[in-house]
């Protein structure tokens, strides 16, 4: 049982300890916290969960991250990110609706619940739009449709592998004239800590995972303003925000927001230590009491054995 003088304890949920998780782990230890690692294939010991002051979720699978966060929160321990923010981040259609409610600039969008409806969007988006599975990452399944024939082909392929439409809805977004890059903003807590262009010379998809180059840029006022709007809408946490600079109307637009951003390759170029910032956020969250649920604070005396 934890006592007043025991170091705070972190439960670190990961798929495996890659280099970037290892660095977060080391920083958290250096900051004086105890850390237990729980990998995706390990038993989550909920009976003991309240020994932890915080759980940091860095599972690579979106469904595993959601599962871990939901069980841990329901058992009474604060997670980072919180379940609700992971739920939004792991569904691009949910995000589009949240951004709309909060007036956050984004590409015009529709959510297609039937394949037929996609033909209506050919006209709506002047035959130039992007179809996205609502839950995916690393550019998987993101498809640029630029005429009726490409839409026919997309639908035919989809019908052959998913005749019952189980993978619907999909998000449909206006194609943005973004040049050969998008912008990744890494947010830790409430603040952006670094921004960089992801430039691709051979693909319209600019994910670093697919080989895009990293070019650091300054955290300009418009980028900071969008981050503030985003945090007001989704709450503080660790995020990778994907932004477009639309060269047609010269405005920034949010492409998507990710929980659990990867940084192993990019930080070697921009040199902002994302692992250290995440570790500091863990310590801050615990020290400010935001690491505990309200009930824990109310029942503080029952937790402390001196």
Q: Which residues lie closer than 8 Å to 165 by C-beta, 6 or more apart?
A: 114, 115
Nearer to Mg ion, 45 or 215 (CB): 215
Nearer to ligand ADP, 67 or 242 (CB): 242
Q: How far is the CB of 120 from Mg ion (least distance, A)?
A: 26
Q: How far is the CB of 127 from ligand ADP (least distance, A)?
A: 14
Count of other CB atoms within 10 angstroms of residue 153: 12
Nearer to ligand ADP, 80 or 176 (CB): 176
Residues that bind ligand ADP (CB under 6 A): 107, 130, 132, 136-140, 142, 173, 175-176, 178, 182, 205-207, 242, 255-256
Question: Are 92 and 256 in contact, with CB atoms under 8 Å apart?
Answer: yes
Count of other CB atoms within 10 angstroms of residue 88: 20
Q: How far is the CB of 131 from ligand ADP (least distance, A)?
A: 10
Q: How far is the CB of 256 from Mg ion (least distance, A)?
A: 5
Give which of Mg ion, ligand ADP, none residue 178 binds (C-beta under 5 to 8 Å, depending on kind): ligand ADP
Give which of Mg ion, ligand ADP, none residue 206 binds (C-beta under 5 to 8 Å, depending on kind): ligand ADP
Q: How far is the CB of 137 from ligand ADP (least distance, A)?
A: 4
Determine the residue with CB nearest ligand ADP. Answer: 206
Give which of Mg ion, ligand ADP, none residue 197 binds (C-beta under 5 to 8 Å, depending on kind): none
262 contributes a contact to Mg ion by CB under 5 A: no
Total interface residues for Mg ion by CB under 5 A: 1
242 contributes a contact to Mg ion by CB under 5 A: yes
Hey, what are 232's tokens? 């007001």
Parallel, antiparallel, or unpaired: how do β-strands 143-145 and 191-199 relate? unpaired
182 contributes a contact to Mg ion by CB under 5 A: no
Parallel, antiparallel, or unpaired: how do β-strands 251-259 and 181-189 relate? unpaired
Give which of Mg ion, ligand ADP, none residue 231 binds (C-beta under 5 to 8 Å, depending on kind): none
Q: How far is the CB of 114 from ligand ADP (least distance, A)?
A: 21
Give which of ligand ADP, Mg ion, none residue 56 binds (C-beta under 5 to 8 Å, depending on kind): none
Q: Which residues bind Mg ion (CB under 5 A)?
A: 242
């Amino acid at each position: 049982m934890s006592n007043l003088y025991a170091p705070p304890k972190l439960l670190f949920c990961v798929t495996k300890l890659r280099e970037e998780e290892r660095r977060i782990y080391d920083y958290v230890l250096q900051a004086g916290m105890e850390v237990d690692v729980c990998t995706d294939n390990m038993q989550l010991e909920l009976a003991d969960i309240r020994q932890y002051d915080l759980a940091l979720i860095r599972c690579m699978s979106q469904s595993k991250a959601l599962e871990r966060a939901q069980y841990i929160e329901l058992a009474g321990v604060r997670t980072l990110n919180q379940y609700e923010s992971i739920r939004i981040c792991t569904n691009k259609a949910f995000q589009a609706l949240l951004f709309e409610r909060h007036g956050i600039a984004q590409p015009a969008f529709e959510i297609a619940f039937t394949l037929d409806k996609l033909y209506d969007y050919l006209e709506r988006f002047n035959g130039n739009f992007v179809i996205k599975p609502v839950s995916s990452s690393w550019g998987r399944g993101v498809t640029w449709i630029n005429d009726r024939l490409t839409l026919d082909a997309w639908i035919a392929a989809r019908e052959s592998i998913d005749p019952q439409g189980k993978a619907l809805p999909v998000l449909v977004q206006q194609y943005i004239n973004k040049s050969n890059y998008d912008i990744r903003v890494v947010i830790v807590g409430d603040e952006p800590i670094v921004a960089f262009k992801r430039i691709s010379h051979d693909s319209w998809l600019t994910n670093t995972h697919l080989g895009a180059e990293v070019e650091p840029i300054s955290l300009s006022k418009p980028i900071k303003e969008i981050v503030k709007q985003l945090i007001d809408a989704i709450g503080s946490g660790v995020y990778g925000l994907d932004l477009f600079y639309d060269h047609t109307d010269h405005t920034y637009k949010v492409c998507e927001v990710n929980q659990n951003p990867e940084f192993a390759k990019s930080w070697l170029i921009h040199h902002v230590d994302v692992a250290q910032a995440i570790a500091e956020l863990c310590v801050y969250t615990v020290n400010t009491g935001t690491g505990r649920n309200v009930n824990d604070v109310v029942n503080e005396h029952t937790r402390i054995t001196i």
